[in-house]
Amino acid sequence: MAKSKKKKLFIILSIIIAISIIVLGVIKAKNNEGNSSAVFVNTVDVITDSINSDITSQGIISVVEERNIVSILPYTIEEILVKEGDKVSKGDILAKLDTKNLKLNTKTAEINLEIQKNTLKKLLEEVDTYKLEKNVENAKNTYENALTKYQNSKQLHEAGAISETQLDADYTAYVSASSSYEIAKKDLEDAKNPNNNVEIIAQKKKIEIEELNLQEQKNAIEKSNIKSTLDGTIVTNNAKIGVSASTVSPLFIIDNMDVLQISASISEFDVNNIGIGQKVKITGDAFKNSEFEGVVSYIAPSANVRQTSTGVETNVKIKIDIINPTNELKPGFSADITIRVAEKGSALVVPYETIYQRKDGKDVVFKVEDGKLKEIEVTKGVKGDIKVEILSENIKEGDKIVNNPSEKYKDGMEVQITNVGETK
């Protein structure tokens, strides 16, 4: 009797399970039938995250200050005081030239100058003003007598006592005496003033020439010491003892290693986002464990256009000053530069591939809402490497946005999400 009851109970449960399976199958079939026209889509969630936009490029490190040290004298190099790698200061002597001939020329110039000075001294001593003073005295007396006689003649002529011819003769004598008097005074003045004496003037010019020659020889001796014109490091040393110094090729090249710069090219599409003084992050394969800071110090006023294998490329040259460079950085090294042009601590971001650009040029995303697509216009904000900020009043955190949309998607289209529970 007990076994019969158990058997009946088992049969009843089996029937209930079978009915349940059938009912569930019918429901599922109806659901599938209802969604048979739905498009399957893959979505990503809108998230709130920090985002930044960087411009990257690569450039070459170089020095800002470099000096080529050339000798102006073609004399033999007698001594070299520095080697490559040595640090020097402006004014330090780098090498010395043989000055035996220069010293001989200087001594000769000193002797010639002394001879010319002695000649001038004799000329000044030979000037005799006594005779000239007597000439002035006689000329003065003659002038005064002629003046008195002419004045008397004018009175006599007015009274009719002398003829017109006599008056003219007295006037001529007066004019001649006046001219002789002036010449005598000028001769005496010139004799007393050496600057008006032609021979003395010529001798003074000779002395000036000898003084210039002597100074030139002294300057040459001073310039025989080859000196640094910059605080920096000797990077090239071409000087050799016993060889004549070149007046064309540099004997030494000095670089200021404390002031380094990077020259790089920026695309025409990015350059307007960069300004003078903007901070730059500097990295490189040659200094992998270090990161340096720089600032944009120069932006070229014009662009460079060049043909590449992929087409025409237009770039603008910029320069970056490296702040506090160390010995790790060397001129000629390549360097990677990163310029941050925008950043935001909190923004609604999605992958670039969720944004579809319509034929009218507007950017849109397709949000899945209640099993249907909703087309929403968005504006791009900060653009990161793989994600972008989107701006729209109709987008919020957690919204599901279709990934890789195409022109087949339309507003109001029914869809089924294939990656439910996944986020990207």
- Is 55-64+256-344 the same fold as 39-51+345-417? no
Tokens 């490559």 label which residue?
84
pLDDT tens-digit readout, 262-302? 999 999 999 999 999 999 999 999 999 999 999 999 999 99
Q: What is the predicted pLDDT for the residue at 17?
A: 57
User: Does the structural domain 66-98+224-255 have CATH classification 3.20.20.140?
Assistant: no
CB atoms within 10 A of CB 171: 15
Q: What is the predicted pLDDT for the residue at 33?
A: 47
Can you tell me the distance from the alpha carbon of 361 to that of 165, in angstroms, rounded to the nearest whole number?
116
Q: What is the predicted pLDDT for the residue at 307?
A: 87
The two tokens of residue 339 are 């310029």
Residue 15 to residues 2, 3, 19, 26, Cα–Cα distance (Å): 20, 19, 6, 17
Q: What is the predicted pLDDT for the residue at 22?
A: 47
pLDDT tens-digit readout, 343-394? 899 999 999 999 999 999 999 999 999 999 999 999 999 998 899 999 999 9
Residue 135 to residues 151, 186, 276, 313, 317, Cα–Cα distance (Å): 24, 11, 83, 94, 84
Can you tell me the distance from the alpha carbon of 36 to that of 29, in angstroms, rounded to the nearest whole number?
10
Q: What is the predicted pLDDT for the residue at 14?
A: 55
DSSP-assigned letter for residue 246:
P
pLDDT tens-digit readout, 152-181? 988 888 888 888 888 888 889 889 989 998
Q: What is the predicted pLDDT for the residue at 127?
A: 62
Spell out, as residue ranges, where the chain has pLDDT lower than 70: 1-36, 125-128, 192-197, 420-424
Query: What are 57's strand-pairing partners?
Result: 337
Can you tell me the distance from the alpha carbon of 321 to that of 279, in angstroms, rounded to the nearest whole number?
10
> Which residue type, as a one-letter code, is found at position 293?
E
Q: Return the CATH architecture of domain 55-64+256-344.
A: Beta Barrel (2.40)
Q: What is the predicted pLDDT for the residue at 3?
A: 41
For 337: left if phi > 0, alpha if psi spans -120 to 50, otherwise beta; the answer is: beta
pTM of the model: 0.59
In the chain, where the domains are located: 1-36, 39-51+345-417, 55-64+256-344, 66-98+224-255, 105-220
Q: What is the predicted pLDDT for the residue at 128?
A: 62
Can you tell me the distance from the alpha carbon of 322 to that of 265, in angstroms, rounded to the nearest whole number?
16
Tokens 């004399």 label which residue?
75
Cα 325 to the center of its chain, rounded Å: 18
Pick the CATH number of 39-51+345-417 from 2.130.10.10, 1.10.3720.10, 3.40.1190.20, 2.40.420.20: 2.40.420.20
H or E element that contains 2: helix 2-34
